[in-house]
């Protein structure tokens, strides 16, 4: 690989095993114990793990260099030795393997043997569904893998409880914890008759009043288009039960159409074309909805998509609509920005970065470029790699610094890319102040400020609790116009994820508050104990401890 980070012709870096090796190495180089950053010492630590096949420094080098195949057992033992949740390695590994790998590669990340003790654990987890007992992320991974591999039969009532609980937890959790639960649902939907049950509950969740993540079932459908209820999806797009679903409805129809799993009739094509044009040109529509509607329009009527894009005129939308194989001055400029940002990250992380051969991480630039400026499902894979890597603390600092720099906002595409990444990684008082300042800035465009409000909602568990105390004052800002309710819902989600029930009850008891906002407060406050426990498990603070939710 060249010094700029571009893959060399025969490099293994841009393979699934190469990406997983990079992820594992960054985490090892960021270990709390410096001696683990040395392959020999790490091999000794691995050998001390009970029931784990030992492998020496040479195998560690091959795995991390991408020349040996990663298996799920490797990932789990890495997590154990480094003192990390399994999900820190498993969630990005599953995602990258599905996006970039083969069936054989995906199979290597699925356990095929379970001990008697693990079988008993799986049985206990099924019992936990009936008592609404907590089920943590690692347990969902074990249970879903066990049910898929063994094809163990459960009663219909049990499958229904399992699907309903899992869908609710997918909506309530974030990050790697949410990704593992989504993977768990995808797995069990492969079991006979379970897909039908899951689809029934998924449609119910998508129609649930007040659920701020009601679009998550549609993301599951996008991963399993052959099992998706295509007729319901298309009907819902043409007559939305809730505009909250529009972005993922457009994306879901796009996935069905591009995959040739559903062919619209002439009448349906015309109706979908009209819906796409109307959404893209509606001044009150959120930018993310416009983006997904334009992507669908591009496959329905490419000429119309170009005309509409010209009329919309948003800089980021124009950039995102470019074919991926086009290299122009704008793409070169963003690549250079990504290279500079990657250099900043390498200067401050991981902790033991001096261990890199030749002092340089040769994969980071590609991962950063695709995270910030990529598109589609592949972008989510790179984002999962970056945000779960050993650079996470460095990312928090670097993103916060960039958002505090006024020059960032000279390019709307760069600004929004940084804002979206902020929601996944930033923490601490400085980050909280910066996000609030962006939301309240009348000099920035409304769409960037709205996206920042959602970044705040995602980052809320990692911010000091005091930031939630006066956050409802944001709803007095009239400059958000037609997107004021969206911003209020983001503030409610931030309050809920930070455990501030005072804010939730304040809005719920306010008869003048918009109905969608009050419904969302009611939804958060009605979550059962098991789901609340899942939320608590998915909100690490910057120090790695767990915050107690709904504790005030």
290-348 residue pLDDT tens: 999 999 999 999 999 999 988 987 888 888 777 777 778 888 999 999 999 999 999 99
Least confident span in 102-106, 109-113, 321-325, 413-417: 102-106
* Spatial distance between the Cα atoms of 66 and 547, rounded to a whole number of angstroms: 36
Is 64 in contact with 82 (CB distance < 8 Å)?
Answer: no
In this predicted model, which residue has the larger pLDDT, 438 or 542? 438
Which residues have a Cβ under 8 Å from the Cβ of 500 and sit 6 or more positions away? 465, 468, 469, 552
pLDDT in tens, 405-436: 999 999 999 999 999 999 999 999 999 999 99
* Spatial distance between the Cα atoms of 496 and 550, rounded to a whole number of angstroms: 7
Q: Which residues pair with residue 335 across a beta bridge?
A: none
**Residue 4: band (very low, low, confident or very high) from pLDDT cuts 50, 70, 90:** very low
Distance linking the first and last C-alpha atoms of the chain: 52
- Residue 157 pLDDT more than 90? yes
Is 95 in contact with 106 (CB distance < 8 Å)?
Answer: no
What are phi and psi for residue 155, nearest 5 degrees? -70, 160
Using a cut of 0.95, tell me whether the model's pTM lies above it. no
- What is the per-residue pLDDT for 540? 43
- What is the per-residue pLDDT for 126? 94
The tokens for 413 are: 């595409």
pLDDT in tens, 258-283: 888 888 889 999 999 999 999 999 98
Distances (CA, A) of 341 to 28, 337, 346, 419: 22, 6, 9, 14
What are phi and psi for residue 546, nearest 5 degrees? -110, 135
In order of their start, the domains of the chain are 16-107 (1.10.260.40), 116-228 (no CATH), 390-537 (no CATH)
The tokens for 275 are: 């819906």
pLDDT in tens, 68-94: 999 999 999 999 999 999 999 999 999
């Amino acid at each position: 690989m060249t010094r700029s980070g571009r893959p060399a012709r025969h490099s293994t870096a841009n393979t699934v095993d190469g990406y997983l090796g990079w992820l594992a190495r960054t985490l090892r180089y960021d270990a709390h114990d410096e001696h683990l950053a040395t392959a020999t010492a790490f091999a000794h630590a691995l050998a001390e793990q009970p029931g784990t096949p030992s492998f020496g420094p040479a195998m560690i080098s091959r795995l991390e260099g991408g020349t040996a195949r990663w298996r799920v057992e490797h990932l789990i033992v890495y997590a154990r030795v480094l003192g990390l949740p399994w999900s820190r390695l498993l969630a990005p590994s599953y995602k990258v393997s599905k996006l970039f790998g083969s069936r054989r590669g995906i199979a290597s990340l699925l356990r095929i043997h379970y001990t008697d003790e693990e079988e008993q654990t799986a049985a206990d987890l099924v019992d936990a569904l009936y008592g609404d007992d907590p089920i943590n992320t690692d347990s969902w991974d074990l249970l879903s893998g066990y049910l898929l591999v063994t094809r163990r039969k459960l009663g219909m009532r049990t499958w229904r409880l399992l699907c309903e609980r899992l869908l609710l937890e997918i909506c309530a959790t974030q990050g790697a914890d949410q990704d593992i639960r989504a993977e768990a649902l995808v797995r069990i939907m492969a079991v006979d008759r379970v897909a039908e049950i899951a689809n029934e509950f998924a449609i119910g969740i998508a129609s649930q009043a007040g659920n701020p993540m009601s679009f998550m079932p549609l993301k599951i459908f996008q991963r399993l288009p052959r099992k998706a209820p295509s007729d319901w999806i298309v009907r819902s797009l043409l007559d939305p039960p809730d505009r909250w679903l529009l972005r993922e409805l457009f994306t879901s129809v796009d996935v069905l159409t591009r995959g040739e799993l559903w062919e619209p009739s002439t009448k349906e094509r015309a109706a979908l074309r009209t819906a796409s044009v109307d959404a893209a040109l509606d001044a009150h529509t959120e930018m993310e909805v416009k983006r997904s509607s334009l992507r669908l329009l591009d496959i329905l009527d490419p000429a119309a998509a170009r005309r509409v894009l010209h009329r919309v005129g948003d800089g980021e939308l124009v950039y995102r609509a470019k074919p991926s194989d086009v290299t122009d001055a704008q793409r070169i400029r963003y690549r250079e920005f990504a290279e500079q940002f990657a250099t900043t990250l390498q200067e401050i992380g991981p902790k033991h970065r001096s261990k890199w051969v030749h002092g340089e991480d040769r994969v980071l630039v590609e991962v950063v470029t695709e995270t910030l400026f990529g598109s589609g499902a592949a972008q989510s894979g790179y984002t999962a790699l970056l945000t779960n890597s050993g650079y996470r603390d460095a990312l928090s600092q670097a993103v916060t610094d960039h958002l505090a720099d006024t020059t960032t906002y000279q390019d709307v595409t760069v600004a929004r890319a940084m804002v979206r990444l902020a929601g996944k990684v930033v923490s601490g008082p400085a980050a909280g102040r910066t996000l609030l300042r962006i939301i309240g800035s009348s000099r920035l465009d409304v769409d960037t400020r709205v996206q920042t409000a959602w970044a705040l909602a995602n980052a809320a568990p990692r911010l000091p609790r005091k930031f939630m105390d006066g956050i409802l004052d944001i709803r007095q800002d009239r400059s958000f116009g037609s997107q004021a309710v969206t911003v209020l819902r983001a503030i409610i989600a931030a309050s809920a994820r930070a455990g501030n029930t005072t804010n939730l009850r304040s809005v719920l008891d306010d008869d003048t508050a918009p109905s969608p906002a009050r419904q969302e407060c009611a939804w958060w406050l009605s979550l059962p104990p098991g789901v609340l426990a899942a939320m608590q498990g998915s909100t690490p603070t910057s120090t790695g401890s767990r915050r107690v939710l709904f504790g005030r």
